Amino acid sequence: MTLHERFMKQALGLARKGAGRVSPNPLVGAVVVRSGAVVGAGYHRRFGGPHAEVHALQQAGELARGADMYVTLEPCSHTGKTPPCADAIIQAGVGRVFAGMADPNPLVSGRGIKKLRAAGIAVESGILENECRRLNESFLKYITTGMPFVALKSAATLDGRIATRTGDSKWITCPESRRVAHRLRFEADAVMVGSGTVLADDPLLTVRLGRKAAAQPLRVIVDGRLRTPLASHVVQPEYAAGTMIVTTAGRAATPKARTLKAAGVRVLACPQKTGRIDMRRLLKKLAAGGIASVLIEGGAELAASALEAGVVDKVYFFYALKILGGRQAVGMIGGTGPSRIAEAVSIVDMRLRRIKNDILIEGYVEKKAPLIKSAGRKR
């Protein structure tokens, strides 16, 4: 590992601390280095707050003059909720800037680097670029396509069952796996389930990590027939304001929909496609409301609908070392399914992780999400 990569890894570690708190902004970390030692460090802590570079420069103080800065993403050059970071770097007198990657945001997109170079600051981009792109895969998808990054999560037995023939599903995986799943919720802008999951499990769909989360993800219930019971948890006063029920235009105009709205639930009308809520149209509407990432948690029919619509970017499949069996037990993915193996969804860039007695398989849907580029630096 080179010296540049070592300092960029430190910046990446800092950036991850902002997960679940800064969306739809990107995760960014920065360190200021002088004579081989870190003299300032920072990360983007919350949406609307100071950026990573500002925190790092404040900590470095006068030691920033003539020093090197390592930042995971190209410094911004425009005024948004905060002033341009490029201006702060120039004013601090930083000597060189090493960026993990260029910012794909059209408001920045090379302008930050150009501004720094015009001020006489040497800039090198592309250090640990793959790691930096993976860190911000949700932001990259959202800012370049106008669609959220979609992850599909499921917990199943080794033979792919998510519930018994009677519908019992608690608990398939171990507490440690469930904690990882709650971390995925925490980092997502929205958690999505189908009405069948609400009817079967009456879930809270909240983040429970042993401490109060800074913000809960939006709870999205895909419910074309508006079957969500008025007594379900997600409709109660404590949770209603953070719940959105997606249904058809006709159902959205019914007395039940008006009752849900009066309770504080958001009811969103969305067109159907082949008898189901059109997932692409739904995700486009969510993105327009600032939702950059969606975690689909269940059930089998919603998972099938998302895969068939081609909107899934990534999967998180938790497998317990158990075999359930049974013809009527519920499988991970519903729907009709393809008629040929060649039509199966392929997963690439797979990672396997052992979580106590469970296995987590994480990977990307082929041709959907490798935002990872070939290695190499750009000067």
Within 212-299, residue ranges assigned H as helices are 255-262, 279-288
Minimal CA–CA distance to 286: which of 109, 23, 21? 23
DSSP letter for 27, please: P
Residue 187 among the catalytic residues: no
- Degrees to nearest 5, angle at CA 250 with 246 and 255: 85
Cα(102)–Cα(111) distance, integer angstroms: 9
Integer distance in angstroms from the first to the last C-alpha of the chain?
19
Q: How far is CA 338 from CA 162, 185, 325, 334, in A?
A: 20, 30, 22, 11
Cα(214)–Cα(281) distance, integer angstroms: 29
CB neighbours of 254 closer than 8 A, spacing ≥ 6?
226
DSSP letter for 216, please: P
Amino acid of residue 196: G
Cα(270)–Cα(277) distance, integer angstroms: 7
From the candidates 5, 53, 137, 343, which is the catalytic residue?
53
Minimal CA–CA distance to 38: which of 75, 2, 67? 67
Active site residues: 53
